[in-house]
């Protein structure tokens, strides 16, 4: 696998360690006026820098909510501190994926750097109404909204308006994501969350996407006014959004998995039965016509890891002008 160039500078976030919440690198500002508690989260994975660039910029600009509460957070700081440009994929996490630990947090028999951090952040996250979790991808792919499996996630995505592709999925067999935690993943709850895959980890365009979706999310939530945000963050909306429903994950059984091509994401296979790879020598085939590959990658290959998800277009949404 080829490596991608690192086009962006990694910000020094040490100045943001001390916070009014008492939780390092987690800052909550209360306007004192009625409104939702909105959270912008960065560094769920330590090598996904675009969100850190955005949160660092908002903290340095001293952005404060006009209504409700605003939390600006860096999650897996320990992994971020370990980033090495010579081994850029190794800083995804320290002990386990931070985005797979969001169930059974009270089971103290389980322990890891990521679990300890999740437990520390949980009191704030439990109070959040609207979460935007900023991510990026192993491979160079068009940006995605990961809306979760519920209708409320698709509805929020449509109101946000960008990126153009919305992925509806149940998550990963390996463990629950933060965007699916408690009320975020409960159809009966008013809480909601979106995870944005802004582009390849270290490309400049991922930062542009992260800025755009953050500005849109804050405006949509109503906690700030457009004048409060940098003037160049908002980008033009795509003319149309498409909603892709994931029907199944492809999970590696062993280290013996390979793809049939150099897939990076959103490839469409017109006919069912197309071979997309091999798992332990057994062909992996598309189960239906017009099957779409969602985030294929072998950069974190190990038994039990989802190496690609398979989906189909469920809906198209024409943007209102």
All structural domains of the chain, each given as residue ranges with its CATH number in brackets, are: 14-238 (3.40.630.10), 247-311 (2.40.50)
Q: Which residues of 177-204 are buried (b: 16+ CB within 10 A; e: fewer)?
A: bbbbbbbbbeeeeebbbbbbbbbbbbbe
pLDDT digits (tens, 9 = 90+) for 225-254: 999 999 899 999 999 999 999 999 999 999
pLDDT digits (tens, 9 = 90+) for 120-156: 999 999 999 999 999 999 999 999 999 999 999 999 9
Confidence of residue 158 (pLDDT cuts 50, 70, 90): very high
Instruction: Compute the distance between CA of residue 224 and CA of residue 221 in angstroms, rounded to an integer.
Output: 8
State the pLDDT at residue 175: 87
The pLDDT of residue 1 is above 70:
no
State the pLDDT at residue 2: 66
User: Percentage of the chain surpassing pLDDT 70?
Assistant: 99
Average pLDDT, the chain: 95
Least confidently predicted of 88-97, 165-174, 187-196, 305-314: 165-174
Provide mean pLDDT across the span 1-21: 92
How far CA 242 is from CA of 20, 42, 162, in Å, comes to 40, 25, 10
pLDDT digits (tens, 9 = 90+) for 173-226: 778 999 999 999 999 999 999 999 999 999 999 999 999 999 999 999 999 999
- The pTM assigned to this predicted structure is 0.94
């Amino acid at each position: 696998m080829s490596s991608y160039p690192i086009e962006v500078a990694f910000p020094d976030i040490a100045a943001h360690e001390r916070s009014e919440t008492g939780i390092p690198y987690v800052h909550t500002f209360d306007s004192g006026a009625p409104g939702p508690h909105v959270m912008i989260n960065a560094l769920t994975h330590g090598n996904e820098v675009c969100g850190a660039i955005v949160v660092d910029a908002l903290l340095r600009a001293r952005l404060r909510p006009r209504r409700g509460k605003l939390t600006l957070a860096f999650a897996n700081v320990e992994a971020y501190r370990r980033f090495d440009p010579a081994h850029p994929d190794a800083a995804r996490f320290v002990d386990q994926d931070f985005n797979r630990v969001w169930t059974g947090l009270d089971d103290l028999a389980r322990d890891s750097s990521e679990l300890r951090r999740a437990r520390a952040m949980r009191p704030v996250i439990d109070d959040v109404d609207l979460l935007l979790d900023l991510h990026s991808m192993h491979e160079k792919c068009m940006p995605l909204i990961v809306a979760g499996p519920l209708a409320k996630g698709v509805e929020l995505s449509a109101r946000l308006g960008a990126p153009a592709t919305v992925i509806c999925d149940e998550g990963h067999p390996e463990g629950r994501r933060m965007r699916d935690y408690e009320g975020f993943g409960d159809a009966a709850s008013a809480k909601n969350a979106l995870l944005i895959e802004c582009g390849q980890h270290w490309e400049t365009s991922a930062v542009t996407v992260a800025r755009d979706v953050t500005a849109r999310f804050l405006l949509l939530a109503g906690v700030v006014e457009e004048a409060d945000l940098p003037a160049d963050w908002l980008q033009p909306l795509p003319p149309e959004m498409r909603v892709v429903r994931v029907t199944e994950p492809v999970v590696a059984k062993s280290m013996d998995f390979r793809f049939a091509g150099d897939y990076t994401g959103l490839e469409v296979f017109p006919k069912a039965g197309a071979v997309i790879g091999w798992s332990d020598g057994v062909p992996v085939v598309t189960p239906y016509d017009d099957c779409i590959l969602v985030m294929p990658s072998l950069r974190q290959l190990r038994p039990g890891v989802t190496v690609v998800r398979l989906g189909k277009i469920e809906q198209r949404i024409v943007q209102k002008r």
